Amino acid sequence: MPRTDIIATMQADIERVLISRRQIAARVGELADQISGRYAQYPEGLVIVSVLAGAMVFLADLIRHLPLRMRIALVGFSSYPGPATEAGDLTCVCPLDIDVERRHVLVVDDILDTGRTLRRVVSDLRRMKPASVRTCVLLRKPGKTEGDFEPDFVGFDIEDVFVVGYGLDYDDQYRNWPDLVVLKPELYGASPAACDRAS
Ligand code: 5GP
Ligand code: MG
């Protein structure tokens, strides 16, 4: 199938663009400025711990705007098995493989929803006795977060809809779409909960 046709079929799945690639690029630059300002005081730099796989596009853009020494480590959890848009149990599928003792750690994730993922990552990290742990999310759904978890850096507050694109997936697809978008409700045929959230 020619490339333009592939793009057209993906385009046809999109109901609306929530945040455009231009808006994302501008905000990532602003976030990077805030983060650089905060960590400039540490000549030894920081460790960025990022959460697979949704944060990978955000991480790739963000780190190229950070004029800081850094190490990067990845952790992975499985919470949305297959074509599901409601989180299941959190299973660690890729443990942290770096020593963060006495280091400044910044956790980077795609989206803060209930907060269970970030809470878990932060509590696992704290046991490793880092000098500090801060968190950065591209997206946050206000009102959804359980407890009083406050990320240190937030790109956008969004409404409670299921978003894909810019690294975020539905059934492991759409991660390569450059904008953050909402899919047409009929695509979530097997998962009625998502229809409610996408409408
Ligand atoms: P939490 O643990 O905060 O409930 O959820 C965090 C993870 O769930 C995110 O890192 C992301 O992978 C996934 N998630 C939450 N909301 C959405 C959404 O609207 N779209 C997609 N694609 N993933 C989401
Ligand atoms: Mg994630």
Report how far residue 180's alpha carbon sits from residue 18's, in angstroms, rounded to the nearest whole number: 6
Q: Which domain holds residue 84?
A: 21-161
Is 182 a domain residue? no
Q: What is the pTM of this model?
A: 0.89
Q: Is residue 5 part of a domain?
A: no
Length of the chain: 199
Q: Which ligand is nearest to the CA of 113?
A: 1
At 86 the pLDDT is 55
The answer to whether position 103 is within a domain reads yes
Please give the positions annotated as active site. 113
- Asked whether 187 lines ligand 1 (CB < 6 A), one says no
What per-residue confidence (pLDDT) applies to 195?
39
Q: pLDDT per residue over 56-104, tens digit each?
A: 999 999 999 999 999 999 999 876 555 555 555 688 887 788 889 999 9
Per DSSP bridges, beta strands 132-140 and 153-157 are: parallel
Q: How many A from CA of 137 to the centre of ligand 1? A: 11
The pLDDT of residue 82 is: 55
Identify whether 26 is part of a domain.
yes
Which CATH number do you get for residue 125? 3.40.50.2020
Predicted local confidence at residue 70, as pLDDT: 96
- Cβ of residue 163 lying under 6 Å from some atom of ligand 1: yes
Tell me which of 18, 58, 111 to substitute to probe ligand 1's pocket, judged by most ligand atoms within 8 Å of the beta carbon.
111
Instruction: State the pLDDT at residue 141.
Output: 92
In a domain, residue 81? The reply is yes
- State the closest ligand 1 atom to the C-alpha of 168, by its place in the atom list counted from 1: 22
Residue 110 burial by Cβ neighbours in a 10 Å radius (0-12, 13-18, 19+): buried
Look at the chain and report how many structural domains it folds into.
1
Q: Tell me if 116 CB under 6 Å of ligand 1.
A: yes
Q: Does residue 195 sit within a domain?
A: no
Q: How far is the CA of 31 from the centre of ligand 1 (A)?
A: 20
pLDDT in tens, the chain (199 residues): 777 777 888 889 999 999 999 999 999 999 999 999 999 999 999 999 999 889 999 999 999 999 999 999 999 987 655 555 555 568 888 778 888 999 999 999 999 998 988 998 999 999 999 999 999 999 999 888 788 889 999 999 999 999 999 999 999 999 999 999 999 999 886 554 443 443 3
* Number of helices followed by number of strands (H, E) in the chain: 5, 9
Task: Decide the pairing of beta strands 70-78 and 46-52.
Answer: parallel
* 171 occurs within a structural domain: no
Q: Strands across the sheet with 14-19, in order?
A: 14-19, 180-183, 163-164
In a domain, 2, yes or no: no
| Amino acid identity for residue 77 in this structure | F
pLDDT of residue 81: 53
pLDDT value at residue 192: 40
